[in-house]
């Protein structure tokens, strides 16, 4: 599992040939769609089934995503760095892709200088919402807890690390580890830069004293610190959402938290999910209670204490 030192030490390639092939092919398809498809895409337009059918015919998502992956493989260090958003089974239409990344809405081609920001945006789409100040109630709840001195933080599903660094700084923790499945997110968190978002990128400057490493891996397979190493574990916007809904996953998550927390350590789960995801989160909290955790708060801002035996 590569950690911060590894994800920062590489050089981006210059995929001129792959990009030229992609641009030539997709600019021709886009012109064909405009000429024969009978509709031009505009951001925010109402998409009827007929319009979607025409778009999918002239601009098929599977072919488009495969072409982008070929450019990504030429640019990035390895296949594993290609953002999950570009995998065939994540989206079903180029219209969904444009909705995920509205700044690229209607675009099918890219310039050399746009490539790194583009793939970083694919790894960190706006709906992830990773930023400072996202869960203020969680920080307030944690400030009221008696945390172990010189405690450390483990952030499971850390995104680009802004919330990780903010929590370390706000709680006065000695450092921490963030885990994400996206290598580009780990790279952005490690280097403290967001090539696709200059506004959020400036927020890193607020946490120059916060010490953190960022690792690439599946949250439910993470076993990086042995046992009992962390005073606080965060798992925000993940448990109960689209990526973690099954009871088997909840059992694994609770096991990892129990193994990784120091005695009397605190696990905190916050989210901005819609009401339809409430039953899954409440099921997780009920399972935690049955396993002997002290559970407090709400389904959108819960804290769980690992009690000393």
pLDDT in tens, 232-257: 999 999 999 988 999 999 999 999 99
Which stretch, 60-64, 98-102, 142-146, 242-246, has highest mean pLDDT? 60-64
Q: In what order do the strands lie in the sheet with 152-156?
A: 212-216, 175-180, 152-156, 230-234, 261-270, 301-305, 294-298
Q: Residue 108: which region, alpha, beta or left (left: phi > 0; alpha: psi -120 to 50)?
A: alpha
Fold designation for 136-305: Rossmann fold (3.40.50)
Full-model pTM: 0.91
Element of type H or E holding 279: helix 278-290
The Cα 58–Cα 45 span in angstroms is 18
CA end-to-end span of the chain: 32
- Alpha-carbon distances, residue 143 vs 26, 231, 264, 286 (angstroms): 52, 13, 15, 24
d(CA 138, CA 277): 19
User: Could you give the C-alpha distances from 43 to 8, 51, 55, 65, 107, in angstroms and in order?
Assistant: 35, 14, 14, 20, 11
Structural domain spans, the chain: 9-123, 136-305
Give Cβ neighbours of residue 38 (< 8 Å, ≥ 6 apart): 54
* pLDDT value of residue 7: 57
């Amino acid at each position: 599992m590569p950690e911060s030192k590894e994800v920062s030490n590489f050089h981006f390639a210059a995929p001129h040939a792959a990009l030229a092939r992609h641009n030539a092919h997709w600019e021709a398809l886009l012109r064909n769609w405009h000429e024969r498809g009978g509709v031009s895409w505009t951001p925010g337009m109402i998409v009827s089934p007929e319009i979607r059918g025409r778009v999918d015919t002239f601009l098929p998502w599977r072919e488009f995503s495969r072409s982008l992956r070929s450019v990504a493989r030429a640019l990035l260090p390895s296949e594993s760095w290609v953002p999950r958003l570009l995998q065939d089974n994540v989206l079903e239409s180029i219209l969904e892709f444009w909705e995920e990344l509205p700044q690229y809405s209607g675009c099918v081609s890219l310039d050399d200088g746009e490539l790194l920001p583009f793939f970083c945006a694919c790894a960190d789409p706006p709906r992830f919402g990773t930023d400072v100040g996202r869960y203020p109630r969680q920080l307030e709840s944690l400030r009221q807890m008696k945390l172990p001195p010189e405690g450390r933080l483990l952030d499971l599903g850390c995104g680009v690390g802004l919330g990780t660094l903010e929590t370390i700084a706000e709680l006065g923790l000695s450092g921490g580890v963030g885990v994400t499945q996206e290598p580009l997110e780990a790279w952005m968190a490690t280097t403290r830069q967001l090539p696709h978002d200059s506004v959020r990128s400036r927020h890193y400057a607020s946490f120059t004293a916060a010490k953190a490493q960022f690792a690439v891996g599946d949250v439910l397979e993470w076993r990086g610190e042995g046992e009992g190493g962390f005073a606080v574990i965060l798992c925000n916007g993940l448990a109960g959402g689209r990526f973690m809904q099954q009871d088997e996953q909840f059992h694994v998550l609770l096991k990892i938290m129990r193994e990784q927390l120091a005695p009397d350590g605190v696990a905190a789960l916050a989210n901005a999910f819609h009401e339809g995801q409430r039953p899954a989160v409440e099921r997780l909290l009920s399972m935690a209670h049955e396993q002997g955790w002290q559970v407090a708060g709400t389904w959108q801002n819960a804290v769980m204490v690992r009690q000393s035996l």
